[in-house]
Amino acid sequence: MFNVLRQSQKTGVATTSYPATPAEVSPRTRGRPEIDWAAWKDARPAAAVCPTGAIACIDADGRRTASLDLAKCIFCGLCADVDPAIHMTTICECAARSRAALVTHATYALKPDGAHDRLIAPPVPGQESPVFLEAVGRELKARTDKLLGRSLHIREVDAGSCNGCEIEIVGLNSPIYDAERFGVHFVASPRHADMLLVTGPVTRNMEQALRKTYDAMPGPRLVVAVGACGCSGGIFGVNYATRGAVDAVIPVDVYIPGCPPNPHALLHGILTAVGRWPDQKSS
């Protein structure tokens, strides 16, 4: 015991100060892709290699509408490998309050060979106004105390995940990220939960269980879809075994893209979700 205490004193505080400071991620971390829309010569190669259809294009009347859907993106980097106008970033804070907010699109005039001639309509960013994480982080405990009279309780449901997201969620309770410093706690029963954190595409075998879990939660309640699978169905989509995205089964308040989203991205999504609590309690 004394050796453990001695080692703890020697190590010191290991908890990150995020979100008061920027996310500390490795330069080799893969975050969302960024497109140089003005210099993009042809969307077809990237769209052809994208395994989830996150990059797509539709041609009509000599024009092409190209789009990037972060809800489908698994941050694999294949698009960046075939297109110099695309590069991978380390940006992981991509959570949004609506599905549409994760889609960015632009319109191009086409050359006879199908390549881009010029940018007609500049990209329309899907992201909502930036969430000021430092302020939200400071106010999270006070907000949950005011609205709920206690800390924020989260019930996590694996609706069909590969467990990649679960590994990152476990990291939230580690000494490094320490979600409990914000009054965030994970609970075993949905009857004690204020927020439902759902991972994976919703398998048909888990559909009823997810609905029952949601119905068992007291109001007001929040639902956060985690990862590309939870946001859009990911690489699984909709098939004989899965319903696809979480919002195909229950209402979703916040979407956290990534495959899997790291603890910084998860914390960003939780803070974003808390900002949507209604002023008055209602079921």
Bridge partners (DSSP) listed for residue 222: 195
Domains of the chain: 33-92+100-124 (no CATH), 133-274 (3.40.50.12280)
**Apex CA 53: angle with CA 164 and CA 71, to 5°?**
50
- Tell me whether strands 152-158 and 195-199 are parallel, antiparallel or unpaired: parallel
Q: Say if CB 219 and CB 193 are below 8 A apart.
A: no
Look at residue 129 in the predicted model and tell me its pLDDT: 43
- The residue assigned the tokens 């985690």 is 226
Going residue by residue through the chain (283 aa), what tens digit of pLDDT does each one get? 767 667 767 767 778 888 888 888 888 888 999 999 999 999 999 999 999 999 999 999 999 999 999 999 999 999 999 999 999 999 999 999 999 999 999 999 999 999 999 999 999 766 444 444 445 455 555 555 555 555 789 999 999 999 999 999 999 999 899 888 888 899 999 999 999 999 999 999 999 999 999 999 998 889 999 999 999 999 999 999 999 999 999 999 999 999 999 999 999 998 888 874 434 343 3
Pairing mode, strands 152-158 and 86-88: unpaired
Provide the CB-side half-sphere exposure for 159 (13 A, CA).
37
Three-state SS letters, 165-193: HHHHHHHCCCCCCCHHHHCEEECCCHHHC
3-class SS of residue 202: strand
pLDDT at 139: 52
pLDDT of residue 146: 55
Residue 105: which residues within 8 A CB-CB, separation 6 or more?
65, 66, 67, 68, 123, 124, 126
In this prediction, residue 8 carries a pLDDT of: 66
Q: Please state whether 233 falls in left (phi above 0), alpha (psi between -120 and 50) or beta.
A: left
